[in-house]
């Protein structure tokens, strides 16, 4: 029988099987997002750690040279000035592994997504 690596089912499992050089930063990211989005559901979406209420707030993932953070295009656009020193795309940000994570910025972006999500959900509940 061929042995295959077990697919992670939780964020903690994801971090345990991530590249060794990324694990500490992933733990920091996990704790930071958890603090900024209290009560958010933690899961894996598309194989990445994700936080959500009714909708996905943010996801993140480990790569060879960076941590990818996916807070949606609206958040990247809103925080563009603060993100100028990082590689970004429409809905993603790359934080290099060799530099400290900008935890206060990650916290602010996540809090923005929490507010944005709550406002969107209010429209549907009215």
81: CATH: 3.90.1150.200
Q: What's the average pLDDT block by block, 10 residues per block, for the chain (126 residues)? A: 65 95 96 96 96 94 96 96 96 97 98 90 51
Is residue 70 a part of any domain in this protein? yes
Q: Considering its fold, how many domains does the chain have in total?
A: 1
Is residue 107 a part of any domain in this protein? yes
pTM of the model: 0.90
The pLDDT, as a whole number, for residue 1 is 39
Nearest to 108 by CA among 72, 82, 126: 82
The pLDDT, as a whole number, for residue 3 is 34
Nearest to 69 by CA among 35, 109, 10, 34: 109
The pLDDT, as a whole number, for residue 121 is 63
The pLDDT, as a whole number, for residue 118 is 85
Structural domain boundaries enclosing 44: 11-125
Strands ordered across the beta sheet of 66-70: 41-45, 48-52, 56-62, 66-70, 92-96, 87-89
User: CA-CA distance, 112 to 72, in Å (whole number)?
Assistant: 11
């Amino acid at each position: 029988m061929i042995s295959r690596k077990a697919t992670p089912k939780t964020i903690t499992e994801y971090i345990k099987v991530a590249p060794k050089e990324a694990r500490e930063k992933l733990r920091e990211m996990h704790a930071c997002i958890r603090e900024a989005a209290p009560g958010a559901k933690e899961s894996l979406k598309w194989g990445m750690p994700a936080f959500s209420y009714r909708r996905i707030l943010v996801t993140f993932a480990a790569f060879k040279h960076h941590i990818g953070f996916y807070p949606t295009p609206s958040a990247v656009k809103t925080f563009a000035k603060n993100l100028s020193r990082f590689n970004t795309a429409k809905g993603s940000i790359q934080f290099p592994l060799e530099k400290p994570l900008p935890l206060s910025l990650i916290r602010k972006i996540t809090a923005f997504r929490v507010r944005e999500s709550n406002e969107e959900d209010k429209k549907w509940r009215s």
